[in-house]
Amino acid sequence: MTEKKRQLPVWQESILLVITAMVMAVIVKTFFLQAFYIPSESMEPTMLVDDKLLVQKVSYWGGEPKRGDIVVFDDPGGWLGEEESRHATNPLQRALETVGLFPTGGHLIKRVIGVGGDEVVCCTEAGKLTVNGKTLDEPYLLEPNSPASELRFDVKVPKDHLWVMGDNRGNSADSRSHLGDPGGGFIQDKAVVGKAWLRVWPWNRSGFIHKPESFEAVNGK
């Protein structure tokens, strides 16, 4: 006669389910998706303060960030202010943040303007950025009819690095603000956590985040 399989007590099953769920959440956070929030006004009007996002990592498994991508990345060193560095404040939120179920702080979010090898220049007589001599039309900016940047620059992006800028050019401490720092304002590809993929909050503005057509000329399309 076949011996009946012994069942675990309910409390043990519950603990096992919780542990399994936590392990799965960590795997998802590490390799697939992670939650973030917008800490500042630097990406307006595309992203507003306290927007909640899902950032996907799959796109960069076999490749690097592309021009026009909105990326979340680790602080290269001294870019974050105190408010932007804040993390969850209570134990439950900190635990959820660790496994990727609560929006994470301590990172930056900007738009990729130039990748390794690109020359990014500001500005043309019309106040536009150029990438490798191609003029960018940037309708996503907070002030699209104003100059793309008040600070003039001409930079060559090193290999495996990025030049990033916020969509709110008048209120974004991005690559331009760190030209004189070690690293010259560029961030390393490996500092990128992932690409902004889906806005999940607020509900009335939820939806997928699409890359603009502005970079098609630079990409040769």
So which residues are the catalytic ones?
42, 110
Residue entry with tokens 């191609």: 134
Contacts of 80 (CB under 8 A, 6+ apart): 106, 108
State phi, psi for 136 to the nearest 5 degrees: -100, 130
Q: How far apart are CA 6 and CA 142, in angstroms?
A: 63
> 49, 40 in Cβ contact below 8 A?
yes
> 107, 73 in Cβ contact below 8 A?
yes
Sign of the CA dihedral running 170, 60, 189, 55: positive
Alpha-helix runs per DSSP H in the chain: 10-31, 91-98
Residue 167, class by beta-carbon neighbours within 10 Å (0-12 exposed, 13-18 middle, 19+ buried)? buried
> 144, 126 in Cβ contact below 8 A?
no
The secondary structure of 153-166 as a DSSP string is EEEEPPTTEEEEE-
Closest CA relative to residue 86, chosen from 101, 105, 100: 105
